[in-house]
Amino acid sequence: MAPISIRGLTKRYGDVRAVNNLSLEVIQGEILGFLGLNGAGKTTTIRILLDLLRPNSGNVSILGHDCQVDGLRARLNIGYLPGELGIYSDLTGREVLDLLAKLSNKAVAKAWRTELQERLEFPESDLRRPLRQYSTGMKRKLGLIQAFQSDPLLLILDEPTEGLDPLMQESFYKLLVDVKQRGRTVFMSSHVLSEVDRVCDRIALIRKGELVLLSTVEVTRKLAARHVRVLFAEDVSIAPVLPPGSEVIEAGPRSWNLKIEGPLGPMLRTIATLPVRDIEIAEAKLEDVILKYYRDGIQ
């Protein structure tokens, strides 16, 4: 039973298709990064999952429950962090956590909530303060606590580290690892590609409402060109003639800077007869691939 199953999802606003025939299945126990530029359809998809919007066509289910037909049961095992926590500002942090716990209709273990507070450095004194006195980072931490406090089977997180300082980001990443080890599933929207590279197992990238990339982070990273620097023990006077998939960035008598797509074997065979002293290879980054999708619109 997939934590999230999306089949042929389409949502239109007049002539504009916010989501167009989207199909996606999230694997139990994984952390999936849901990526796209602003306006790509991420928020619309999440709102349909939560039954805050109704699609024009398609089917969406959570843990086997149709999100529109059986929405209450579908949402029973979800922990949700919205992009912005819209709660009455005169409530205290403690009142917000208690209110949302009651609305979820699931018991909250006091020890687990206390652990979340400690890990996110959110003391009781802050919980006694009204939300109008909270900074952006404090609201984000409170939002994370309320999303995790019922220990849900599925977490849907929208830009979870927005407003968090670097130390709190580290605490959040460790929290994700811990809940994943307990078999929980995380569906996470983020614009921070470095954190997606670090914590996600797979990525799903949508552009103009359509899924254009679905792959593991490891495989996706391999789609990017690697930067290779070849150092020579003595001057090399010949111009580099490299196999397809290789590009010369800069060539001097003692070093070549190259960009290589695909396996390195053909390039290594080409330079095998030259007086090579060393080869430096910079591993490709996930953002190199994602930014290319954003910028060039490749399929």
Q: Is 203 within the bounds of a domain?
A: yes
pLDDT at 240: 79
Q: Is 273 within the bounds of a domain?
A: yes
pLDDT at 297: 53
Most confident region among 85-89, 155-159, 215-219, 265-269 by mean pLDDT: 155-159
CA distances from 191 to 20, 38, 83, 100, 164 (A): 21, 9, 12, 27, 14
pLDDT band at 220 (very low <50, low <70, confident <90, very high): confident
Contact 134, 142 (CB under 8 A): yes
Q: Are residues 140 and 167 in the same domain?
A: yes
Percent of the chain whose pLDDT exceeds 90: 60
Q: Are residues 108 and 252 in the same domain?
A: no
pLDDT band at 94 (very low <50, low <70, confident <90, very high): very high
Q: Is 297 within the bounds of a domain?
A: no
Strand order across the beta sheet in which 57-62 lies: 16-26, 4-13, 57-62, 65-66
Q: Are residues 190 and 138 in the same domain?
A: yes
pLDDT at 299: 44
Q: Are residues 54 and 129 in the same domain?
A: yes
DSSP conformational letter for 133? G
Distance of alpha carbon 18 from alpha carbon 42, whole angstroms: 9
Pairing type for strands 246-251 and 210-216 reads unpaired
Domain count, the chain: 2
Q: Is 288 within the bounds of a domain?
A: no
**pLDDT tens digits, 2-34:** 999 999 999 999 888 999 999 999 999 999 999
> Structure pTM?
0.82
Domain that holds residue 245: 225-283
Q: Which of 65, 80, 76 is nearest to 106 (CA)?
A: 76
Q: Are residues 42 and 147 in the same domain?
A: yes
Q: Are residues 169 and 259 in the same domain?
A: no
